[in-house]
Structure 1
Amino acid sequence: MRCSLIATNPTDFEVHLFHEGSLYKSYKMFGAHIVRNEGVVGTRFSVWAPHARAVRLVGSFNNWNGKDHPLTKINDQGVWTIFIPENLEGHLYKYEIFTENEQVLLKADPYAFYSELRPRTASIVYSLDGYHWNDKAWQRKKRRKPAYDQPLFIYEVHLGSWKKKEDGSFYSYQEMAEELIPYVVQNGFTHIELLPLIEHPLDRSWGYQGTGYYSATSRYGTPHDFMFFIDQCHQAGIGVILDWVPGHFCKDAHGLYMFDGAPTYEYVNIQDRENPVWGTANFDLGKPEVRSFLISNALFWMEYFHIDGFRVDAVANMLYWPNSHVLHKNPYAVEFLQKLNEAVFSYDPSLLMIAEDSTDWPKVTAPTYEGGLGFNYKWNMGWMNDILTYMEAAPEHRKYLHHKVTFSLLYAYSENFILPFSHDEVVHGKKSLLNKMPGEYEQKFAQLRLLYGYLATHPGKKLLFMGGEFGQFDEWKDLDQLDWMLFDFEMHRKMSVYVKDLIKFYKRHKPLYELDHSPEGFEWIDVHNAEQSIFSFVRKSNKENDILVVVCNFTGTAYHDYKVGVPLLATYKEAFNSDASLYGGCGYINKKPMTALEEPFHGKPYHIEMTIPPFGISVLRPMKKRGERSVDGEEKMRRHVVGRRTR
């Protein structure tokens, strides 16, 4: 344990910045800190309670009797503090708040770094110092290679239900490092996105209704254990994204709600404050102290836990005033989000700031100096809803929903998009992705492979919720682990192989990610074949003639000698086919190279003839002449061996 060399009281400058809304490391001022001052080691507690008549500190160190530990109010705006000349690390504590209407409240510390395991609710004095990080190589790499032109395939995980022990208990953060990280690496995902891990009282809220924004939930271990998990991810080449909820919070009695007997963190106006859909309270995003609290929280996870990004939950709920039949824009939220993004990118320009926004708000991913909100990514909810509506339709009816596939390309470059198949789509009676697919058993798997193939080849970065990679048949059961016994069944094992190979193929081919955010990276070949529900298009990289031709067949009919227009006069090789028997398909593949004919078709100067698999996706690439081959994979090895022989 190390002691911070800080004053026994917050400084006037810190207090000024906090009330101004610009103290972006307010976690160093508030909460419980082990400090050394003038040779005395002690513990300083500070809290903001602007409406309180008095505040006392109670805990395991004073028998939960605060009469000898009153906090001193150091300004008229409600900052209270106390210094106890004793190292109280490991002790439980709460604030005993005496309100203006004669109530006495027991509140957990909003800035506590560690909390009791639910259902207990006390805060714990905890020092975050002392962890030795080993992720310098990862930090250098992510700063050297921004995400925009790199592959990004995110695995969304709920730690409490990914895998459980035989007795039903949770794996710890450290045990998850041993179980989850190798699995993610084997599957080829680039990042893990964790459902919220701030302290929360109810398991079934999945962390979206929090009480301890600075406490990594104690369900899985200590904050240092969580640091270890992230460090191990980074050493394995995996980024970590936190699902984060700055819009609303839990109303449990020990939490932020009516913290000092009056609206403190929430809006004063009940219509703006209450969120009846989720049973939560909305943060007052116009209040400077709340902005200091929330923006500091993002920087806190970055500084102490080396988080690589945030998926910001329910942005629409912030952008528009709640409980209104008309969409009224909330200017406080707009300004907050802009200041948030400016602050985090000043700290780490490589950060991923991802908006979960279901609206058509413009410039979500545009810089703030251009009038944008300042995120660098947004979930493409429109694409997700459209393609799932299309896939859930009977194949013979898809021709009437042709626009559900084509529409996304009309706006694909208006924002930097991530294409999400998230937990929200496989819970609450919506069925799993596999079970959304119509038809018989094998047809469901074929269409899911097709859907994943289309996900991988459509412009935009990718996200898949846990269980989707092996075809979880039931929807997500948040109290149970994933159905790992499905690996006993051949089709699920083959689905797992398919997803691994698909992600590997995606990561190896620059046309699938390098120009994700530029219209130069995509070109339709045939967008009009609604009758057969066949779509074909070209993906391109920055390098001239480095292309892939993608053909998707959304019906169960196979076609032979099918003409497809191509942009280059070349011989094409099938590089990927979802219908391969290895993946559980029927084996309608193109074994032989296909030489382009000098005859225009589909508006292209040349065409090839190929086999189109049923419910399948086929990806073709032009074969390079010997002198044009890239020096990777087998070719690189061949040259290395030849070079050794000739030296």
Structure 2
Amino acid sequence: VGFTHVEFLPVMEHPFYGSWGYQTLGYFAPTSRYGTPQDFMFLVDYLHQHGIGVIVDWVPSHFPADDYGLAFFDGTHLFEHADRRKGFHPDWDSYIYNYGRNEVRNFLISSALFWLEKYHVDALRVDAVASMLYLDYSRNPGEWIPNDYGGRENLAAISFLKTLNEAVYKNFPDVQTIAEESTAWPMVSRPSYVGGLGFGMKWNMGWMHDTLDYFSKDPIYRKYHHNQLTFSLWYAFTENFVLSLSHDEVVHGKGSLIQKMPGDYWQKFANLRLLFGYMFMHPGKKLLFMGDEFGQWSEWYHEASLDWHLLEYPFHQGLLQWVKDLNRLYRQEPCLYEGDFEPEGFRWIDFKDWEKSIVSFIRTGKTSQDMLLAVLNATPVPQHNYLIGIPWMGVWREVLNSDALCYGGSGVGNCGAVATRPEPFQGEPCSLSLTLPPLGIVIFKKESP
């Protein structure tokens, strides 16, 4: 399929299988459910031999209260706070680490370094960072204790996260730490020496919520929510963002991605292809949960396999082929990854056509010829002779079209290429006249002169 990395939900030993590993107890060993530590080493090595990096979820934010675990470890509150207002998490019925104790900090940092050194993983995705940063996280007034300055920030946890990231990057400068942080806490993915938390990247939860909400709406109403398609670019470069469509979005009654899409059978697949195309062209690294790439209808259930039999059907085959081609384009076009974290890598063409639910933009690389043009039509109405302004003369080749017949689309397109016209439009010296497919995205590459 062309993915560059796999991310595993927590493989560390955990007592409750239904927690998906997020109720971690064994911080130095993979769960015996799947084999031995050597088996996991073999898996990581095998993936590396095939050019695939490995990310593991790591949970320093809380731990379960099982008697045989870390809670009340030596008859005292060794790992957790004694006061439940600091030491107990009300959402997960679990304990919160006392990050002010050097022994606890060293225990957790040793675990992180162990997975990087012994198991050779390439990145740690740190779970539930927001719950660590705020003393009042998921608590009502009177259920939490302010810090020494009267604030809600967990100063010990902040110090721990900075020290953790400093230790990781000092010992393993080529890996990544990735924060699942769902608030507007500033500088999560900025170095600690400039005041940041020191993570390499941060999940973009705002983009995820806006995007799924927008694409779940009937296209007739999307023009009233156009800002959900464009707002993320206002803050896209304030952090090193990962655009995440994770397991959390396909469980607990939320429905699978294909279920979220409006319309009939054909429109659901067209909408999902459009969503994926928008995601891959948007600045930021990409994360898809398993099953999304071929349109699994049912929610993810940890006790069952994915519905691989769906790949017997043409629409599911077409969606998977679309994801394959997006991955191929992403890997072969530097403009899609070199400038992910820099505003110079993105340029709007037009974000104002809310009436027709159309946006267009350019991704640029480090050379003048390294650029791609993306035009999205989020309605089922095809657009013919649609004009956009363009700053450069030349021929633009259609490199991907989500409405192509091979993906299950209707085959509306631009016959392979389109040439600019020397007619000014939208403040640009040239213009392009395009055919935009229904519920589709068209991606063009400028031909070399």
Whether the TM-score (by the shorter chain) exceeds 0.5 is yes
| Rounded Cα–Cα distance in structure 2 between residues aligned with 1:624 and 1:270 | 65
Q: Alpha-carbon deviation of 1:315?
A: 0.2
Deviations 1:217-255 (A, max 9, x none): 001110011101001111111110110000100111110
Alignment partner of 1:444 out of 268, 275, 294 = 268
SS in 2 for 1:219: coil
Which residue in the other structure is 2:23 paired with? 209
Structure number, greater radius of gyration: 1
SS in 2 for 1:208: coil
Alignment partner of 2:58 out of 231, 244, 249 = 244
Which residue in the other structure is 1:555 paired with? 379
Correspondence list, 1:336-355, <5 A: 336-355=160-179
Which residue in the other structure is 2:285 paired with? 461
Which residue in the other structure is 1:541 paired with? 365
Q: Alpha-carbon deviation of 1:603?
A: 2.5
Which residue in the other structure is 1:324 paired with? 139
Which residue in the other structure is 1:160 paired with? none
| Rounded Cα–Cα distance in structure 2 between residues aligned with 1:305 and 1:205 | 23
| Rounded Cα–Cα distance in structure 1 between residues aligned with 2:280 and 2:417 | 23
Correspondence list, 1:101-112, <5 A: none
Alignment partner of 2:251 out of 421, 427, 438 = 427
Does the Cα contact within 8 Å between 1:272 and 1:282 map onto a contact in 2? Answer: yes
Which residue in the other structure is 2:429 paired with? 605
Q: Alpha-carbon deviation of 1:432?
A: 0.5
Q: Is 1:577 aligned with 2:391? A: no
Give the counterpart letter for 2:203 in structure 1.
W
In the superposition, relative to structure 1, how do residues 323 and 460 fare at CA in structure 2: closer, same or farther (>3 Å)?
Answer: closer
Which residue in the other structure is 1:41 paired with? none
SS in 2 for 1:385: helix
Q: What TM-score do you get using the length of structure 1 for normalisation?
A: 0.67
| Rounded Cα–Cα distance in structure 2 between residues aligned with 1:593 and 1:411 | 33
Which residue in the other structure is 2:32 paired with? 218
Give the counterpart letter for 1:332 in structure 2.
A
Unaligned runs of 5+ in 1: 1-186, 626-647
Deviations 1:9-38 (A, max 9, x none): xxxxxxxxxxxxxxxxxxxxxxxxxxxxxx
Does the Cα contact within 8 Å between 1:525 and 1:603 map onto a contact in 2? Answer: no
Q: Is 1:616 aligned with 2:430? A: no
Q: Is 1:528 aligned with 2:352? A: yes
Q: What TM-score do you get using the length of structure 2 for normalisation?
A: 0.96
Q: Is 1:230 aligned with 2:44? A: yes
| Rounded Cα–Cα distance in structure 2 between residues aligned with 1:363 and 1:203 | 34
| Rounded Cα–Cα distance in structure 2 between residues aligned with 1:389 and 1:547 | 29
Which residue in the other structure is 2:335 paired with? 511
| Rounded Cα–Cα distance in structure 1 between residues aligned with 2:337 and 2:99 | 36
| Rounded Cα–Cα distance in structure 2 between residues aligned with 1:278 and 1:507 | 39
SS in 2 for 1:537: strand
| Rounded Cα–Cα distance in structure 2 between residues aligned with 1:261 and 1:323 | 28
Give the counterpart letter for 2:44 in structure 1.
I
Which residue in the other structure is 2:221 paired with? 397
Does the Cα contact within 8 Å between 2:333 and 2:370 map onto a contact in 1? Answer: no
Q: Is 1:303 aligned with 2:126? A: no
SS in 2 for 1:220: coil
Deviations 1:388-444 (A, max 9, x none): 110111111111111111110000000000000000000000000111000000100
Does the Cα contact within 8 Å between 1:423 and 1:465 map onto a contact in 2? Answer: yes
SS in 2 for 1:419: strand
Q: Alpha-carbon deviation of 1:599?
A: 1.3
Correspondence list, 1:68-87, <5 A: none
| Rounded Cα–Cα distance in structure 2 between residues aligned with 1:572 and 1:323 | 51
Q: Alpha-carbon deviation of 1:267?
A: 1.2
SS in 2 for 1:538: strand
Does the Cα contact within 8 Å between 1:353 and 1:377 map onto a contact in 2? Answer: yes
Which residue in the other structure is 1:368 paired with? 192
| Rounded Cα–Cα distance in structure 1 between residues aligned with 2:341 and 2:223 | 28
| Rounded Cα–Cα distance in structure 1 between residues aligned with 2:183 and 2:138 | 16
Deviates more, 1:441-450 or 1:591-600: 591-600
| Rounded Cα–Cα distance in structure 1 between residues aligned with 2:154 and 2:21 | 25
Q: Alpha-carbon deviation of 1:367?
A: 0.5
Q: Alpha-carbon deviation of 1:304?
A: 0.6
Q: Alpha-carbon deviation of 1:536?
A: 0.3
Query: How many corresponding residue pairs?
Result: 439
| Rounded Cα–Cα distance in structure 2 between residues aligned with 1:305 and 1:593 | 48
Does the Cα contact within 8 Å between 2:91 and 2:138 map onto a contact in 1? Answer: no
SS in 2 for 1:218: coil
Give the counterpart letter for 2:412 in structure 1.
Y
Alignment partner of 2:14 out of 168, 186, 200 = 200
Give the counterpart letter for 2:114 in structure 1.
F
Q: Alpha-carbon deviation of 1:215?
A: 1.6
Which residue in the other structure is 1:488 paired with? 312
SS in 2 for 1:573: strand
Q: Alpha-carbon deviation of 1:593?
A: 2.4
Identity percentage over the alignment?
Answer: 51
Q: Alpha-carbon deviation of 1:479?
A: 1.0
What is the aligned-residue RMSD (CA, Å)?
A: 1.0
SS in 1 for 2:389: strand
Does the Cα contact within 8 Å between 1:384 and 1:420 map onto a contact in 2? Answer: yes
Q: Alpha-carbon deviation of 1:566?
A: 1.4
Deviates more, 1:263-272 or 1:317-326: 317-326
Q: Alpha-carbon deviation of 1:197?
A: 0.6
Q: Alpha-carbon deviation of 1:546?
A: 1.9
